Structure 1
């Protein structure tokens, strides 16, 4: 009897415990469902609130996510696999999009027709058969891309311009590097300029002795030159992709000249189509010499037997100063322009653009004096009064350690007030106009605080 009571009592306890478990589980399930409902409600509200800001038209049961894109570009269907019958289409601007219906042509040589003459070029168009849409979009939306495809007239970190004139920014380019544009544009206040110069001084002063000597500045000049080269290579690849619309890593003359003329206001599609069909292309008369010049430079770097440039060859076309072989082409161009008597060398009179028998020593003009000094002290290595091809090439070679050392000595000369052959931070700040192009007018007031 006692045993039965104990058993009944234990059974009632177990039953009660079991009921408690069931109630707990049910309550937990209800809480979870409520949380999920609340989460869905919150997500929906957040989605509805953000959608106008991010420009999403969200219809997941119909067409997937469609992105609002800039005018002139139709959005690609994101659920292409669900709509195989629909082809992705890009309605891109005429000056960028490859032609839709270009055909391979054997009609004849391409032509550029000037107002007076017809210039026959030896290359037929090699039209892309397929469009690399990802490549085209990537080029279109690259905001850092410089749209000019012709080789630049100004060559950073080289002492001469393409026309033989002195590069007036050379000293600042190899001292300030990328910071030069910010100094030039006035982006820095006086105290910021001082801080930037202090940063540069610290970077150049490798042995941390508080002085910049010739060896340290020579290394710095070469470092800044290589930075300019790297930037030029990056820009070259972007420009190459702009022209290489089919992404085949080749650029033909017709692709290049069509893009070039589109930058001058002509319709790229029309130019490309006319060249493809063998028709003449009329161009403004003032572009005749420029196109002939570009064509000559193109042929110089184009490999014999081929009708296109690779990305490295296009780099030589854009920046001949970056390799030994193409540097010779730049030297030849400058020598051709300056050598008025066709003697295959340059005299000091030719270098300062004066008459052959003119006495340049009596001219007081500052520009002439600067050119005269440059010619006699730096370029004319053997001091025979003439500059030949080898001397001009050595002078223009931006990675020549000899010329970098010469520039280091000039940089020291700008600010070496105590003539000890070295620069201190104080000397640079006191003579900042020679290094940055602007004078730190408030420097004298704060000089005692700095030192």
Structure 2
């Protein structure tokens, strides 16, 4: 249920700023909560590959079978200011959290509901995506004309304005990277005018957020994992993506989570039981229709914090469990609190 774009290997000196932010776009997070999902997602594959609707966190939800609170901090607050709350005293963390709670309580009834929590998480993640788009847009749209051409993108990303010039003037083979970039670019260019608007560029950077881009997400995932290029994912390719041969230790038994993943492949991923995953099965794996991460995170935060089980959170309940929300690592809304942004 989450999606990971693999990081390409770049030679020294390559222009990385925008590509790094894009390629590290989304990774796998598992939500192993008391609220059960229809299909298991709390194993290593979920942490490595499955798509999330919005990037709730740069950290894994579970570490070695234990809940990782840093996931909740980033999901609740955002990502861009991860060190802000990490460097605050407990007292200051509580004070700033009170400000956030009052923003989340939209109807001002003194309580935060699960729906208000979900809307808040949605808000912080959508804010992150647009902030990320705007940062990279400024880097690429050098002439500030509100449109980004392929030549502009090539120039700022690779240093040259065309694929031919790039091939002629560099020793490193960028062919596959440029091919993937251009395929995604053309898909994002919905009106076919050979340039991207800011909104189209958002789809380019975060394809998992746009329905018309999801086939590209599947293609890129297949290309990354399908080592024999037969158009399918075998069990060994599926397992090998998260537990590569170089991780195997001689004489050491395969980890339990790998055994579990083999079972998951057979029981859930390979739906038609032909021993491999086709594109449609991969799509349902990484881009499920029936899962909302903001909703799952809201349910989790409610479960962890609602001490009197009345299905709503008072400010004091939240402050009492402040470490669940803003404990050791949090991000984006640290900055927003300083600005006193309105929700």
TM-score range, shorter chain: 0.5 to 0.7
Q: Deviations over 1:277-312 (max 9, x none)?
A: 969533252756544443443344346976444444
8 Å Cα contact 1:213/1:422 also seen in 2: yes
**How far apart, in 1, do the equivalents of 2:234 and 2:106 lie?**
40
Would you say 1:153 and 2:38 are equivalent positions? no
**How far apart, in 2, do the equivalents of 1:162 and 1:333 lie?**
18
8 Å Cα contact 2:113/2:311 also seen in 1: yes
What stretches of structure 2 of length at least 5 have no aligned partner?
Answer: 1-10, 31-45, 52-57, 61-70, 245-253, 330-343
**How far apart, in 2, do the equivalents of 1:258 and 1:238 lie?**
14
**1:110-129 matched pairs, under 5 angstroms:** none
Would you say 1:164 and 2:49 are equivalent positions? yes
Instruction: Indicate how the Cα distance of structure 1 residues 239 and 279 shifts in structure 2: closer, same or farther if over 3 A, else same.
Output: closer
**Per-residue deviation at 1:175?**
1.0
**How far apart, in 2, do the equivalents of 1:346 and 1:204 lie?**
45
1:404 aligns with one of 277, 281, 294: 294
**How far apart, in 2, do the equivalents of 1:214 and 1:308 lie?**
41
**1:36-75 matched pairs, under 5 angstroms:** none
8 Å Cα contact 2:28/2:48 also seen in 1: no
Aligned to 2:118: 218
RMSD: 5.1
**1:160-309 matched pairs, under 5 angstroms:** 164=49, 167-168=58-59, 171-177=72-78, 180-183=81-84, 186-207=86-107, 211-242=111-142, 245=143, 247-262=144-159, 271=160, 281-285=168-172, 289-302=176-189, 307-309=194-196
**Per-residue deviation at 1:431?**
4.4
Q: Deviations over 1:15-68 (max 9, x none)?
A: xxxxxxxxxxxxxxxxxxxxxxxxxxxxxxxxxxxxxxxxxxxxxxxxxxxxxx
**How far apart, in 1, do the equivalents of 2:145 and 2:323 lie?**
48
8 Å Cα contact 1:346/1:388 also seen in 2: no
8 Å Cα contact 1:198/1:425 also seen in 2: yes
SS of aligned partner of 2:23 = coil
TM-score, normalised on structure 1?
A: 0.44
Higher Rg: 1
Aligned to 1:267: none
**How far apart, in 1, do the equivalents of 2:157 and 2:124 lie?**
30
Would you say 1:314 and 2:201 are equivalent positions? yes
**Per-residue deviation at 1:259?**
1.8
Aligned to 2:68: none
Aligned residues: 266
